[in-house]
Amino acid sequence: MKTTIFFVFTFAIALLGISCTGPQQGNSNAPAAPNGAKKIKIGFAMDTLKEERWVRDRDAFEAHCKKMDVECVITVADNRAEKQANDVENLLTQGVDVIVIAPSNATQAASMVDKAKERGVPVISYDRLINSDKIDLYISHQVPVIGRKIAEYALAKVPEGNYVMVYGASTDNNAVIMKKEQLDVLKPAVDSGKIKIVADNFTPDWKPEEALKMAENALTQNGDNIQAFVVSNDGMAGGVVSALANKGLAGKVLVTGQDAALDGLQRIAEGKQTMTVYKPIIPLANQAVESAIKLAKKEQLTTTPFMNDTLKKEIPAILLEVTVVDKDNLMTTVIKDGYAKYEDVYKNVPEGQRPPKQ
């Protein structure tokens, strides 16, 4: 009986994590490095893999862990904060030296940070900001800049008219930060009456189907008289474009995005989505892994202070640069960098209408 219970327990634990280096036996039995030292073990608690960009994050993180000869365990919470809390507890039980969290819920994740710190484990807040002043590092792209660039682009292209604001999940600090920055950029035009925000809302879990419903409602309520949808990522932009296509308006109304997801890039090439924000994933994942290694070795990080407006406190951060991408610079940005292939981006564009390969 005891043997059966032990087998079931061991099997259940094995299912909880995705390992970069094979089955996990806990930190005490971690593989030894070539010099005889125990390998550093990094835990990465992800929120979701439902969007292309997060698959890129996982793959890049795994690849760099292997390159740096460190062990990693990756869990995915499927957009459920309570599952992520369990994932973090399991990673700590496995004896990770550092834990990286892409939070499902920015506020609830603070308790996960507390648990890690109680065990002396450093914590990196990855891409999304956790509402805790105990994190050792916040590593992301320049989220306030992303918000501003999206709004500035929309205002430059559509300086007058009716706007719909499609924000991300209210539980995600990135969505909250971008909302603030977008509204700050648009405020003078709103105050002057040049533009009117006729609808705005946060979108649960950044779901495209929820963005589609919001766009359909906004179009119906305003008699299709909308000139711009300021959308905070490409997944939701896809939902908005679907709503516009159903009205015969795809390509006639400005639609913004973020992430440079392949389907978003394809819509830009086709003229259905207007722009996106390109955030190179490999440099982000690489720096997260390298920072985790430094924290595990108790080495100093080079950071800049970032103000968490919710906590009114500064936290150490590494913030990477971003680039606006539209139909005019697809070739010189995402394709030139090898982030996306020419054939994939222009898949739905007739050959005679494609730009020449460079």
The yes-or-no verdict on residue 127 having pLDDT over 50 is yes
Per-residue pLDDT tens for 186-213?
Answer: 999 999 999 999 999 999 999 999 999 9
Per-residue pLDDT tens for 152-183?
Answer: 999 999 999 999 999 999 999 999 999 999 99
Please report the pLDDT score of residue 36 as a whole number: 56
Please report the pLDDT score of residue 38 as a whole number: 83
Residue 185's alpha-carbon distances to 189, 191, 195, in angstroms, are 8, 11, 12
Please report the pLDDT score of residue 6 as a whole number: 41
User: By three-state DSSP, how is residue 317 classified?
Assistant: strand
Residue 356, burial from CB neighbour count under 10 angstroms (0-12, 13-18, 19+) = exposed
User: Which position has the higher pLDDT, 284 or 4?
Assistant: 284
From the centroid of its chain, how far is CA 176? 13
pLDDT band of residue 236 (cuts 50, 70, 90) is very high
Per-residue pLDDT tens for 248-265?
Answer: 999 999 999 999 999 999
Mean pLDDT, residues 83-111: 97
Per-residue pLDDT tens for 331-357?
Answer: 999 999 999 999 999 999 999 999 998
User: Any residues with CB less than 8 A from the CB of 348 and at least 6 apart, and which?
Assistant: 266, 269, 270
Per-residue pLDDT tens for 14-68?
Answer: 444 445 643 333 343 444 555 556 899 999 999 999 999 999 999 999 999 999 9
Give the chain's domains with CATH numbers: 2-141+280-320 (3.40.50.2300), 143-279+323-353 (3.40.50.2300)
Please report the pLDDT score of residue 25 as a whole number: 34
Helices (H), 94-226: 109-118, 143-157, 173-192, 208-221
Please report the pLDDT score of residue 52 as a whole number: 92
